[in-house]
Chain A
């Protein structure tokens, strides 16, 4: 009978392990994929919200994921019926969640006219707004090292003149650095040549502007040799920090880090106007958004709404700018003197105005994937530009068809 006792003990133990579910109406679960230095700021806002008298006993659980993990975990959790209440992330995966029914449209709950139009546009799909913007930007800018560059170039001609002359005398390894393999860095130039990767939900890649933009890359890399041969994000970042290049094109997320690293040598400018077309490069603009999961309990919606409104008050938006150098999404906060008086934010805002909203459609995934592959083939001269661009378009169309058939 000893074994029966054991079995009983085991059964009892297992039963004891299954705890009753806790009261979840006072708990908000938030998943995010922010860079690590952002977490303290998020927590401080949550703390302040919990301190409000009407929120006694509220608990907010924040869990960090890497970008890819957040997507797969949120999908799995949504399918399993246990998603978090809120998601804080960029707009590029929001299309996927919206199409899958994992997040809910919010236009009835929030007044979106209070936020900047482009940042709302970047989270709008099929006429619905899918997230509450908390910051505006995620756009590329030109950073320079004041030790080498006195006045930032206004046009690409000025930039190249610097690269051909002073940069050579300074014995820099290269003149400027950017992540040439990532199509995200190609988009500003594509815009400056008069193109854009998506027209509505239709990819428009096999175009003259795209061919011009890729040729422009090749010219920089092989003919002029102003940019490094083979350089990804970490490589360009190190080169700039170590003073091996004078310029870098990087996102607004890097502003505060470069400010800290370079001190008085930190320089920021809009990406110079393309002399050949006279147009300004147009980086993709989006932002960070709170999305409300479709699994959030309806009785909790009012609470979530209050939290998000609290997170994007004018005061908190200004605070967020001071802590993270991220531009506010709220129109009212954009006019605050703390922000308008600062040169860095003026430049960053200027660049945003020259940018275009990042398309939210799920078709964009196919564009990124194909563009990355064929841009790589073209810039390493494995394919000529015309063929690469043609195949880029063909393959994107094919993948979209497979995805949606």
Chain B
């Protein structure tokens, strides 16, 4: 049964086909290198590059994975990273969401200076901080403990989180809070019950940012941690890299395994990133 398509339906169909084609193309560009890494991890003989373009290499083996999980403390390192990352993201997002509220809803002296101060914390080339950071960590006796790392990670992601949340809060009309305040809600209540639920997209951006930054961090961890039991996966994985010889098979296997948790977090949080409570319905 052929029904005649209306012009609008036809346009929708064309649009959808084009969209899918475009997205597929971009997605392929993003997935392809990951597949190359997968093939390195399956390839015998620790070869990083290969003339062989096939994704499942000849003689594919899971040896690298079993060696990584069996001979090293990789799971332990993953677990350490996960704990630090979650703690960091929790602290980072809580501090940022309240600080951004102050920037968005209050007028006070030093507001602009404060915003710029936040930015300027990101402007010193990171490599130059190794020496002073080492001296500081020493003095505060934070060697080999996660406390220093958790503070350093959550603080260093603050500027971005605060800025992005402030930008988002600014788009929420004040009339919503004012209405609630008239109804007898406190300022804190208004923030908690109106601003936060409406800001889930920005909160999830801030969370994702905190998460990926802490998850992949190397520099501070290298300065703070000395014993391999306490390593994060970044340090642990780099143990496989020597001056000339790197165990690329295990390195790639590890990279595949550490990418999975991040993708899970993305998959889960993108629900909040997109839908949340859309402002449209409230703004009306």
Contacts and interface: CB of A to CB of B under 8 A. Distances in A.
A244 B51 contact: yes
Contacts of B228: 63-64
Interface of A is mostly: helix
A17 B239 contact: no
B45 A241 contact: yes
B244 A238 contact: no
Given A251-B244, A254-B244, A234 B48 contact: yes
B52 A242 contact: yes
Contacts of A242: 47, 50-52
Nearest to B251: A36
Nearest to B135: A80
A383 interface: no
Contacts of A63: 226-228
B40 to A, nearest CB: 10
A18 B147 CA distance: 12
Given A64-B239, A257-B245, A73 B48 contact: no
Contact of A17 (B45, B135, B141): B141
A69 interface: yes
Contacts, number: 87
A18 B141 contact: yes
B126 interface: no
A259 interface: no
Contacts of A64: 228, 239
B51 A238 contact: yes
A95 to B, nearest CB: 17
B35 interface: no
B66 interface: no
A33 B228 CA distance: 14
A82 B136 CA distance: 12
A121 interface: no
B47 A35 contact: no
A238 B48 contact: yes
Contacts of A36: 239-242, 245, 247
* Interface bin, chain B: 20 to 34
Among the interface residues B223, B245, B248, which one has the most CB atoms of the partner chain A within 10 A?
B245
A76 B131 contact: yes
A34 interface: yes
A67 interface: yes
B130 A72 contact: yes
A314 to B, nearest CB: 27
B134 A80 contact: yes
A128 interface: no
Interface in B21-62: 45-52
A367 B123 CA distance: 32
Nearest to B127: A72
Contacts of A234: 47-49, 248
B243 to A, nearest CB: 5
Contacts of B248: 234
B52 A35 contact: no
A239 interface: yes
Given A36-B247, A241-B45, A17 B227 contact: no
B222 interface: yes
Interface string B219-231: 0001100111000
B245 to A, nearest CB: 4
The 3 closest A-B pairs by CB, nearest first: A35-B242, A76-B134, A234-B48
Given A66-B242, A81-B138, 17 more contacts: A17-B141, A19-B141, A33-B242, A34-B242, A35-B243, A35-B244, A35-B246, A37-B245, A67-B243, A79-B135, A80-B135, A82-B138, A90-B243, A242-B50, A244-B51, A251-B244, A253-B243
8 contacts: A34-B242, A63-B227, A82-B138, A90-B243, A241-B47, A244-B51, A254-B244, A257-B245
